[in-house]
Structures are given as structure tokens and as C-alpha cells.
């Protein structure tokens, strides 16, 4: 039986983990990656669309590299909207605009914003730095298209969860280093910030098993994404190795108490604050990785969404 600290878990999160234990799913590395992706996509596409938007369309973000597909959501209503460039999670190997359609719709409606969801290339077919370059290109192009979508380029936020949080942080830093465009904020939801193999974060040790995301799964993701060991030390892979984090846009950093990634996310929030960046940071107790995009109706899911919407309203007006 999986060992976990039941007393400190929210009751609904504990029940979700127990259901997952009972399902006895195969380890993800024992299943062909395309089959995993197809299963995730089929699951989410079968769900009813609970958040209606005015329009959705797929476009292609052009730039110096190959075009990147971007799915754009407009919430409807009058007036020019803020723009959110959203980068999905999935360990750099799973997920796409279909599996995150529900999250993008909720983000557009709840934040009253145009959302551009980035369909970046996935590992292992496209290892580092493909996802980074796609995300940077798509975000830069989205800003250039804001007027055409009824959005305000001057109120642009880049957001992502997990691997997408890593990519969102990298986009924000690359924009700073490459002369723009400027961003109003960066929303990082339980982000991966340190992929160096020798890093010994306490949360990775203490929460390695029994809380949904495991260290074994993260290692598997890392092997697919980073083909060379030295890539883990690159600032585009591990945002925590960046020496100078000053002059970055205001940040929201949300972490979960029982997430292996908790400590490195908390550390990144602290590093940003020490560099003079305005940071809204919360570690949510009693919950685990993945709840923000869950379809379980969890109390911590609603708490996270509430914090996201509150922060977005504050920084985008």
C-alpha cells in the first residue's frame, strides 16, 4: 500500500489518490508515448465544455523557426481584453491544446481575457530546446496579433503549469534579455524550476511517492526532454540557475504542499523577491501536483483558480 501522510491531505485529495491507487494504472514508460497522448486527448475531448466563449480559432505563430499552432479563445463582451499566453504542462512530453482546452476556456471566461494556448512540440521526438523556442516564438507572435483579437498587448501575461510554468518563466526571462516585448506578469503554477540531477530538494525526497506525481515519473520526463546532461544546467531548462532575476515582470507563484516540485517553486519565488520582483506567492496546504487542471471539483482546485483570477484582476486592471 502506498504510504502517505493522510492526516495532512485534504479529504477530497486523499479520496482522489485512493481512487488512482485502486485503478492500478501501468507505469507510463511501459506504454507507447503516442498511446498515452491519445488516451489523454480522448478523455478530455469527451468532457462537456463547461465554459462557453465567444469564439475559438486555431492560428499559426510564425517567426524565425517553423510555425507553432496557437489556439485562441475570446471570452466575449465589450471592450479590449487583456491577453494571456498560456503554456500547458505535461512533463514536456504530454499534453496539448485539446487536453488543456477546459483550462484555457475557464481562464478566458474567469479572467475576462483573450487566451492564446501554445501547442509546442513535445519530447522525446522534439527534445530541449524545441519547447522553449516554440513558446518564445508563439508568445512574441501572440503579442503582435493582440489588436486583431481585440486584446491589449500592453496587458500581456504569460502563464503555465508544471512544465508549462517552467516554459512561462523562461519566456519572461528571454523577453527581458532580448529586448521585449514587455509583459505585465508571469503566472507560474507549481513550476519546474530546477532540472539539475544533483539537486536534493527536500520535497522531492519526502514526496517522491504516494502523492500522484512521483520522482520516477519526473526522471522519465527529464530523460526524454534533456538529451544531454549539461542541458539541465542551462537557464532555459532550469530557471533557478539564472544569476540575475531582476527586472522581470511581476509573478504569481503557486505551489502545493504535497508536490515533489514544491520546494523548488518556493525557492524560485524567494529568488524573484530578493531580486526586487513583485511576487504573489502561496503554498496551498493539503493538496498535490496537478489539481489546478483537474476535473475532480476539488476544494484546492477552486482555491488555486481563485488566487489566479484575483492576481490577474490586480495586475491587468
In the predicted model, is pLDDT for residue 4 greater than 80? no
The pLDDT of 230-255, averaged and rounded, is: 98
Q: How far apart are CA 284 and CA 145, in angstroms?
A: 35
Query: What's residue 61's pLDDT?
Result: 98
Q: How far apart are CA 253 and CA 311, in angstroms?
A: 10
pLDDT digit string, tens, across residues 154-212: 999 999 999 999 999 999 999 999 999 999 999 999 999 999 988 889 999 999 999 99
HEC string of 100-111 equals: CHHHHHHHHHHH
Catalytic, 162? Answer yes
Q: Tell me how far CA of residue 259 lies from CA of 2, 122, 205, 207, in angstroms.
A: 15, 23, 10, 6
Catalytic residue among 101, 194, 259, 263: 259
C-alpha cell at 46: 469527451
Exposed e or buried b for every residue in 6-41, given b needs 16+ CB within 10 A?
A: eeebbebbbebbeeeeeeeeeebeeeebeebbeebb
The pLDDT of 108-134, averaged and rounded, is: 98
Contact (CB, 8 A) for 290 and 162: yes
Average pLDDT, the chain: 95
> In which residue are the cell numbers 477530497 written?
12
Pairing of strands 68-74, 81-87: unpaired
Largest Cα–Cα separation, the chain = 55
Contact (CB, 8 A) for 288 and 211: yes
Residue 202 CB coordination number (10 Å): 10
The pLDDT of 224-244, averaged and rounded, is: 97
C-alpha cell at 211: 502523492
Query: What's residue 295's pLDDT?
Result: 79
Query: What's residue 3's pLDDT?
Result: 56
- Domains, the chain, ranges and CATH? 6-316 (3.40.50.1820)
pLDDT digit string, tens, across residues 246-301: 999 999 999 999 999 999 999 999 999 999 999 999 999 999 999 999 977 899 99
- Measure the CA angle with vertex 270, ends 265 and 274; round to 5°: 150
Q: For residue 285, which phi and psi values (nearest 5 degrees)? A: -75, 155
Catalytic residue among 74, 88, 258, 289: 289
**Percent share of the chain, pLDDT over 90:** 91
In the predicted model, is pLDDT for residue 5 greater than 80? no
Q: Tell me how far CA of residue 227 lies from CA of 48, 125, 238, in angstroms.
A: 38, 11, 14
C-alpha cell at 36: 498515452
Q: How far apart are CA 254 and CA 260, in angstroms?
A: 13
Please provide the size of the chain in residues.
317
- CA-wise closest residue to 271 among 162, 181, 177, 169: 169
pLDDT digit string, tens, across residues 82-113: 999 999 999 999 999 999 999 999 999 999 99
Contact (CB, 8 A) for 82 and 111: yes
Catalytic residue among 113, 117, 135, 162: 162
The pLDDT of 116-121, averaged and rounded, is: 98
Any alpha helices (H) in 115-214, and if so which ranges? 130-144, 163-177, 202-206
Query: What's residue 1's pLDDT?
Result: 36
Catalytic, 234? Answer no
C-alpha cell at 59: 492560428
The pLDDT of 50-79, averaged and rounded, is: 96
Amino acid at each position: 500500500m502506498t504510504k502517505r501522510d493522510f492526516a495532512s491531505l485534504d479529504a477530497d485529495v486523499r479520496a482522489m489518490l485512493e481512487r488512482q491507487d485502486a485503478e492500478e494504472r501501468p507505469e507510463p514508460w511501459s506504454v507507447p508515448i503516442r498511446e498515452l497522448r491519445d488516451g489523454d486527448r480522448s478523455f478530455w475531448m469527451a468532457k462537456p465544455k463547461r465554459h462557453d466563449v465567444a469564439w475559438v480559432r486555431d492560428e499559426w505563430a510564425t517567426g524565425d523557426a517553423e510555425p507553432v499552432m496557437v489556439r485562441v479563445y475570446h471570452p466575449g463582451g465589450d471592450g479590449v481584453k487583456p491577453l494571456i499566453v498560456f503554456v500547458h504542462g505535461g512533463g514536456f512530453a504530454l499534453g496539448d491544446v485539446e487536453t488543456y482546452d477546459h483550462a484555457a476556456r475557464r481562464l478566458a471566461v474567469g479572467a475576462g481575457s483573450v487566451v492564446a494556448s501554445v501547442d509546442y512540440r513535445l519530447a522525446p521526438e522534439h527534445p530541449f530546446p524545441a519547447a522553449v523556442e516554440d513558446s518564445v516564438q508563439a508568445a512574441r507572435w501572440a503579442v503582435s496579433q493582440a489588436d486583431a483579437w481585440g486584446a491589449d498587448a500592453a496587458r500581456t501575461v504569460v502563464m503555465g503549469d508544471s512544465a508549462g510554468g517552467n516554459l512561462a518563466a523562461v519566456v519572461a526571462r528571454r523577453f527581458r534579455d532580448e529586448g521585449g516585448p514587455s509583459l505585465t506578469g508571469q503566472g507560474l503554477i507549481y513550476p519546474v524550476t530546477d532540472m539539475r540531477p544533483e539537486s536534493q530538494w527536500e520535497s522531492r525526497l519526502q514526496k517522491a511517492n504516494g502523492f500522484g506525481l512521483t520522482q520516477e515519473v519526473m526522471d522519465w520526463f527529464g530523460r526524454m526532454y534533456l538529451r544531454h546532461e549539461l542541458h539541465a544546467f542551462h537557464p532555459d531548462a532550469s530557471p533557478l540557475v539564472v544569476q540575475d532575476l531582476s527586472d522581470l515582470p511581476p509573478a504569481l507563484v503557486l505551489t502545493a504542499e504535497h508536490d515533489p516540485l514544491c520546494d523548488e517553486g518556493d525557492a524560485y519565488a524567494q529568488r524573484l523577491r530578493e531580486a526586487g520582483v513583485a511576487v504573489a506567492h502561496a503554498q496551498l496546504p493539503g493538496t498535490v501536483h496537478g489539481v489546478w487542471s483537474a476535473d475532480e471539483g476539488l476544494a484546492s482546485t477552486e482555491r488555486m483558480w481563485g488566487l489566479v483570477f484575483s492576481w490577474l484582476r490586480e495586475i491587468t486592471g
